[in-house]
Amino acid sequence: MLSDTERQKKIKYKPQHIFQRIKERKHLFPNGAITKKCIDECFAAIKNRNRGVFVKDNRNDSQSSHVCIFVGESGEIIALPCKIDDENIVWLTIKDVRKDTSNPNWFVNSYNEVAKTRGLPSLPLIFRGIEGGI
């Protein structure tokens, strides 16, 4: 988890990479045609502790130190892997949790651990091969 002070660090990202991910994952953002609104939605999740949950990224193959997980306006679970240093939050990419091939429930379980301490609603687990799952 990040403190409110840590959430206020400057956010850095590579615009071309993020714009491409928004284009590829437009189903995550109902305002997908308007890239600025998508970026604003992600910034809100990073900055507001009631909007997004930060968890330490302990996945083996990860380049990020933390992941901000939130439910977008689309109702989809979105993950924003980030590297956090003394001055910045470096936003690396956008992940569609339902389509994560390694372990989508890592994101869900990590979110739910923090959400219950804040009174936020929990997320359902993702089941593959079952109606309603992927």
Q: What is the mean pLDDT of each run of 10 residues along the chain (134 residues)?
A: 84 87 79 75 94 92 93 91 94 91 89 91 74 46
CB atoms within 10 A of CB 127: 12
Closest residue by Cα to residue 39 from 2, 6, 89, 80: 80
User: Is the pTM here over 0.85, yes or no?
Assistant: no
Q: Residue 79 pairs with which residues in a beta bridge?
A: 69, 95
The full set of domain ranges for the chain reads 4-118
pLDDT value for 130: 44
Q: Cβ(90)–Cβ(12) under 8 Å?
A: yes
Please enumerate in sequence order all residues whose Cβ is within 8 A of that of 10, keeping only pairs 6 or more positions apart, or say none.
Answer: 87, 88, 89
